[in-house]
């Protein structure tokens, strides 16, 4: 079992179809297969034990991913937004490594110990001309395919270990081989170091879909590419969709006529944003995909039919599903458990646990967090309703414990967002002498709108139990998100503690 097998199949099924495209550069499935083989020879000749990539998406990404699999070394995409010192820290965890990066960084990175640095251009040139590789790759399902450093919104970054068996199981369980038609094209705008970027590559290859890369997400460029390349499928994180809608809403022409399927995930999608998107693109199928790095991407989906029935329902319980992440994939099991590890009944809130062949739950050098029965504790809090729909309620670590009562920040944020003057909000726990922890909110107001602290407190008090009313509300211009749309609560807590408004 090896990721390369997916590319081998696509290259034999549709050799002449374009596999990946970046600007004017393209590789067909057969060309990608050949390039992966030559890249594998390069890496093997270097003697390096890992293949790292510190770069935006380019043709070097699929060549590097599949070339690594062919060579039998783990592929480790690194976050190019980190500081030099942070990058040094990650590099030391994966050395000796063969590192592909942009030309401008080659000199500086060459100082890294036990790291062989090659520019993207030089790497692609060698993958285009070097000797062909031994046409066989390891088939051990337990070999490491990918090392992904988690975003580190809490604590130091650690590398999640995804083995070939995890990624291949995910693809076989969720994608039908060769199901894409000649016209299908997937626009991939998430960075290579995000699990969704890796999953998008593997799924597109197995389905035989053309991948259109957008190296740096920018809403105008995304819309333009979606139109000019007749993009049929795309994945976005919530902040991307918000910006895309802003761009389209302000223009005379809001149509994306070819976009058949838009999936989203990687963070909480505000209900107003998805409702607006559904109104703007009534013909498009929306899918909410919930997953984690440690689970090889998606573990639950709210499918297009769920979206439509929820949006058109008068029943509040059905309508609420638009804020859920849908139901677990058929190839997986999901359970909600209390702190003592006991499974909870529908509607009860606890920590989400997941079990299945795509689930890794292992970190490099730290072992596995999966229990003896195969269950992985996600550290995400949530509940499942009577019909099996999974609702997320933030990270288990973000829960506010006020006087023994567990409060979910997401629930309070949702209520604040329903206020017409509120554009964005974040709720966190703050130290409180009487209750242990108290509720604080940081609110971004809409342009030209105003609301007082008392007004917003009354608003929440009128809709939720009084324990959930924020005792402190601060206003700010923008909340801190990382580049893939994750709210940085740790930063908000620190800012509140230091007395600054969020």
Partner 1 sequence: MGQLKAGVRLRSAACATEVMVVASPDGAVDLQCGGVPMLDAKAEASAGGSPSPQAAEGSILGKRYVSESGDLELLCIKPGDGSLAIGETLLKTKDAKALPSSD
Q: What does the binding site for partner 1 look like in residue numbers (CB under 8 A)?
A: 1, 5, 8-9, 12-13, 136, 139-141, 164-165, 168, 172, 174-179, 186, 196, 199-200, 203, 207, 233, 235, 261, 263, 265, 285, 287, 289, 297-298, 301, 303-304, 329-330
Question: Distance (Å, rounded) from C-alpha 416 to C-alpha 427?
Answer: 10
Which residue, 289 or 415, is less far from partner 1 as judged by CB?
A: 289
Shortest distance in whole angstroms from residue 337 CB to partner 1: 25
Which residue, 118 or 256, is less far from partner 1 as judged by CB?
A: 256
What is the three-state SS of 250-298? CCCCCCCCCCCEEEECCCCCCHHHHHHHHHHCCCCEEEEEEEEHHHCEE
Which residue, 165 or 489, is less far from partner 1 as judged by CB?
A: 165
Shortest distance in whole angstroms from residue 263 CB to partner 1: 5
Shortest distance in whole angstroms from residue 172 CB to partner 1: 7
Find the helix or strand (DSSP H, E) in which 19 lies: strand 18-22
Question: Distance (Å, rounded) from C-alpha 471 to C-alpha 366?
Answer: 40
Shortest distance in whole angstroms from residue 77 CB to partner 1: 15
Which residue, 304 or 356, is less far from partner 1 as judged by CB?
A: 304
Which residue, 166 or 486, is less far from partner 1 as judged by CB?
A: 166
Phi and psi of 415, rounded to 5°?
A: -70, -40
Residues contacting residue 151 through CB under 8 Å, at least 6 positions apart = 79, 157, 482, 484, 486
The two beta strands, 233-236 and 25-28, are unpaired
Question: Distance (Å, rounded) from C-alpha 264 to C-alpha 35?
Answer: 31
Which residue, 168 or 412, is less far from partner 1 as judged by CB?
A: 168
Which residue, 80 or 177, is less far from partner 1 as judged by CB?
A: 177
Which residue, 164 or 402, is less far from partner 1 as judged by CB?
A: 164
Beta pairing partners, 27: 20
Shortest distance in whole angstroms from residue 181 CB to partner 1: 13
CB-CB contact of 230 with 258 (8 Å): yes
Shortest distance in whole angstroms from residue 180 CB to partner 1: 9
Closest residue by Cα to residue 142 from 166, 167, 163, 169? 163
Which residue, 267 or 436, is less far from partner 1 as judged by CB?
A: 267
Beta pairing partners, 160: 148, 363
CB-CB contact of 441 with 412 (8 Å): yes
The two beta strands, 97-101 and 115-119, are parallel
Which residue, 51 or 206, is less far from partner 1 as judged by CB?
A: 206
Which residue, 58 or 288, is less far from partner 1 as judged by CB?
A: 288
Question: Distance (Å, rounded) from C-alpha 502 to C-alpha 495?
Answer: 6
Long-range contacts of 268-274 (CB under 8 A, 24+ apart): 268/238, 268/392, 268/410, 268/487, 269/238, 269/241, 270/238, 270/242, 270/417, 271/322, 271/323, 271/414, 271/417, 272/417, 273/238, 273/241, 273/242, 273/245, 274/241, 274/307, 274/322
CB-CB contact of 403 with 436 (8 Å): yes
What is the three-state SS of 389-406? CEEEEEEHHHCEEECCEE
Shortest distance in whole angstroms from residue 110 CB to partner 1: 34
Shortest distance in whole angstroms from residue 75 CB to partner 1: 17
Shortest distance in whole angstroms from residue 390 CB to partner 1: 14
Shortest distance in whole angstroms from residue 178 CB to partner 1: 5
Shortest distance in whole angstroms from residue 245 CB to partner 1: 20
């Amino acid at each position: 079992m090896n990721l390369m097998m997916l590319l081998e199949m696509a290259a034999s099924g549709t050799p002449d179809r374009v596999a990946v495209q970046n600007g004017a550069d393209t590789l067909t499935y057969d060309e990608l297969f050949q390039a992966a083989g030559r890249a594998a020879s390069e890496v093997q000749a270097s003697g390096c034990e890992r293949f790292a990539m510190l770069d935006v998406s380019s043709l070097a990404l699929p060549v590097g991913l599949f070339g690594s699999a062919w060579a039998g070394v783990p592929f480790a995409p690194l976050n190019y937004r980190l500081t030099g010192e942070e990058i040094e820290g990650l590099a030391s965890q994966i050395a000796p490594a063969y590192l592909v990066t942009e030309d401008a960084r080659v000199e500086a990175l060459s100082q890294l110990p036990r790291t062989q640095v090659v520019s993207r251009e030089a790497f692609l040139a060698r993958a285009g001309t070097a000797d062909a590789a031994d046409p066989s790759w390891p088939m051990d399902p337990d070999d490491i395919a990918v090392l992904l450093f988690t975003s580190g919104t809490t604590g130091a970054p650690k590398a999640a270990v995804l083995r070939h068996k995890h990624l291949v199981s995910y693809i076989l369980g969720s994608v039908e081989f060769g199901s894409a038609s000649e016209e299908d094209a997937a626009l991939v705008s998430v960075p290579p170091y995000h699990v969704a970027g890796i999953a998008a590559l593997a799924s597109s290859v197995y389905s035989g879909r053309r991948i259109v890369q957008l190296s740096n997400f920018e809403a105008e460029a995304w819309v333009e590419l979606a139109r000019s390349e007749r993009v049929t499928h795309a994945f976005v994180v919530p902040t991307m969709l918000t910006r895309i809608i802003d761009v389209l809403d302000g223009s005379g022409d809001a149509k994306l006529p070819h976009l058949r399927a838009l999936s989203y995930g990687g963070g909480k999608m505000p209900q107003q944003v998805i409702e607006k998107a559904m109104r703007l693109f009534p013909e498009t199928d929306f899918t909410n995909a919930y997953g984690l790095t440690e689970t090889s991407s998606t573990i639950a989906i709210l499918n297009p039919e769920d979206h439509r029935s929820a949006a058109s329902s008068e029943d509040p319980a059905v309508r609420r599903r638009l804020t859920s992440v849908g139901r677990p994939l058929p190839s997986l099991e999901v359970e909600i458990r209390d702190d003592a590890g006991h499974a909870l009944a529908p509607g009860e809130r606890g920590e989400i646990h997941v079990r299945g062949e795509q689930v890794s739950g292992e970190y490099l050098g730290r072992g596995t967090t999966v229990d003896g029965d195969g269950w992985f504790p996600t550290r995400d809090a949530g509940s499942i309703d009577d019909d099996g729909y999974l609702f997320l309620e933030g990270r288990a670590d973000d829960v506010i414990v006020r006087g023994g009562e567990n409060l979910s920040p997401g629930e309070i944020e949702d209520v604040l967002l329903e206020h017409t003057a509120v554009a964005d909000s974040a709720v966190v726990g703050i130290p409180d002498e009487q209750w242990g922890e108290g509720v604080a909110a940081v609110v971004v107001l809409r342009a030209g709108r105003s609301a007082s602290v008392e007004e917003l407190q009354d608003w929440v008090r009128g809709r939720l139990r009084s324990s959930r009313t924020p005792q402190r509300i601060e206003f700010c211009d923008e909340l801190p998100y990382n580049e893939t749309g994750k709210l940085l609560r740790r930063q908000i807590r620190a800012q509140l503690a230091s007395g600054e408004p969020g």
